[in-house]
Amino acid sequence: MKDSDAPSNATVLASVRRVCFSRRTIATVEAYLFLLPFLIAFGLFLVYPFIKNFWISLHDWDLLAVAFNPDAKEFVGMKNYVRTLWGRRMTWDITHLWHIKSVLAIGCLILWFATLRGSARLGTAVFWTVVAVTLVVVLGFHPGERGRWYDKEFWNAVRNTFVFVALAIPPIMVISLTLAVLLNRPTRTMAVFRTLFYLPQVLSVAVITLVWWYMLTPGQGLLANVMRLFDLTPFSWTTDPILAMWAIVIATVWWTIGFPMIVLLAGLQEIPKDRYEAARLDGAGPIALTWHITIPGLKRPLVFVFLYEVISHFQVFGQSHLLTGGGPGDATQTFVRYLYQTGFRDNELGRGAAMSVLLFLVMAIFSFLYLKFSTQRRTS
């Protein structure tokens, strides 16, 4: 009696076969076979190290000691983060770094104004206000009287990196946009110009620092040769903190305008030609056309280029490492170079890993916006 209720062997086998050999199951097995080589490389050399990095950051991990004895590392919890980010006798007040905070406040005001006028979404305004308020709170912390940061050099590197990004991105955006607008004609001459302006971008960082060393160096540089022609004394930029920062900015701008130029050029070619025709019939001149049709039509590529440039230039390493050696003093020390030195000069891998995590968190904000932005575009 029982047996008649239970499915017979044959039907069980048939349904097993149906599940196991259904088109979709076979397709799934095949798909993972196709994916396997990539997923191994992706998992082993990107995802796993990324996770292991968090683990290392929780240890006191001396490069040399651990190399001789794998048990020499010691679990210390959040100590590496505290030693990097915190200080002795810390206090909080609202006016600390007031110039950055006023910029944030003005930005929020503009955003809310735009929201009231209907040109920005409420969600966006709320999101950025939350971000700004968080930043204002965080930036209020600083060492009080007779206090100090545990790691002053770290904050110096952070500040230099922000200064570098802030100095490099505006010229990159302006020059690449200007070039893109001027190059946007289908002639052979323009193709030659485009090839030339992109060329520095394919060189490696070691080559561009070499080139710019010999452009700028007061002894043998091209700039010095020109200045001597006019009886001027060449700049000694390696000993001047501000000129040294400008040297790596100039080298970087020269090196990296190619990518944004190509992106903006492609964006320009997507703006429908009849918009220009219509505006021209209404009597618009070239400047009016640029301002009222070209720039608004380029909004998306401009946002893309901006985010891309922030992400890539925040990770600046080679220019500072090779052109100025971080100097004079620590005037051009950058985040990634300090991270590198903490790990491989001071052998403190735990603290270096903690800084990598911090770098990732900063980058994650921009990468998230970038991904959101590019997927938005792909689906629309």
- Least distance (Å) between residue 94 CB and another protein: 33
- What is the Cα–Cα distance from 128 to 151, expressed in whole angstroms? 30
Q: Which is nearer to another protein, 173 or 205 (CB)?
A: 205
- Which residue lies nearer to another protein by CB, 91 or 290? 290
Q: What are phi and psi of 330, to 5 degrees?
A: -120, 30
DSSP state of 71: G
Structure tokens at 10: 């044959």
Question: Residue 74: beta bridge partners?
Answer: 60
> Which of 177, 221, 244, 320 is close enough to bind another protein by CB under 8 A?
221
- Near another protein by CB under 8 A: residue from 160, 161, 294, 333: 294
**Shortest reach from residue 20's CB to another protein, in Å:** 13
* d(C-alpha 103, C-alpha 22), whole Å: 61
Q: Which is nearer to another protein, 5 or 274 (CB)?
A: 274
Q: Is 232 in the site for another protein (CB under 8 A)?
A: no
Least CB distance to another protein at residue 129 (A):
24
Tell me the closest approach of the beta carbon of residue 175 to another protein, in angstroms.
9
CB of 117 to another protein, least distance (A): 28
Q: Using CB under 8 A, which of 210, 241, 328, 347 touches another protein?
A: 210
Residue count (the chain): 380
Burial of 247 (0-12, 13-18, 19+ CB in 10 A): buried
DSSP string, 285-343: -HHHHIIIIIHHHTHHHHHHHHHHHHHHHHT--HIIIIIITT-STTTT--HHHHHHHHH
- Bridge pairing between strands 87-92 and 74-75: unpaired
**Segment near another protein (CB under 8 A); pick from 130-138, 144-152, 164-172, 260-268:** 260-268
Asked whether position 263 contacts another protein by CB under 8 A, the answer is yes
Q: Find the binder of another protein among 65, 173, 215, 243 (CB under 8 A).
A: 215
Sites for another protein among residues 173-202 (CB under 8 A): 179, 181-185, 189-190, 193, 195-200, 202
Q: Is 369 in the site for another protein (CB under 8 A)?
A: no
For residue 211, the minimal CB distance to another protein (Å) is: 5
The first and second tokens of residue 215, run together, are 């452009």
Q: Is 285 exposed, middle or buried (0-12, 13-18, 19+ CB in 10 A)?
A: exposed
Min dist. Cβ of residue 138 to another protein (A)? 21
Q: Which stretch binds another protein (CB under 8 A): 8-16, 100-108, 132-140, 282-290?
A: 282-290
Identify which range of 10-18, 147-155, 156-164, 335-343 contacts another protein by CB under 8 A.
335-343
326 is an interface residue for another protein by CB under 8 A = no
Map the footprint of another protein across residues 29-48, applying CB under 8 A: 30-32, 34-35, 37-39, 41-42, 44-48
Q: Considering only residues 65 through 84, tell me which ones interact with another protein, judged by CB under 8 A.
A: 66-67
Q: Distance between CA atoms of 47 and 45, rounded to whole angstroms? A: 6
Determine if 311 is a binding residue for another protein (CB under 8 A).
yes
In one-letter notation, the amino acid at residue 202 is: V
Q: Restricting to residues 98-127, which ones interact with another protein according to CB under 8 A?
A: none
Q: What angle do CA 182, 186, 189 make, to 5 degrees?
A: 70
| Cβ-based neighbour number of residue 151 at 10 Å | 19
Q: DSSP states of 355-377 as a string? A: HHHHHHHHHHHHHHHHHHHHHHH
Nearest distance from C-beta of residue 5 to another protein, angstroms: 32
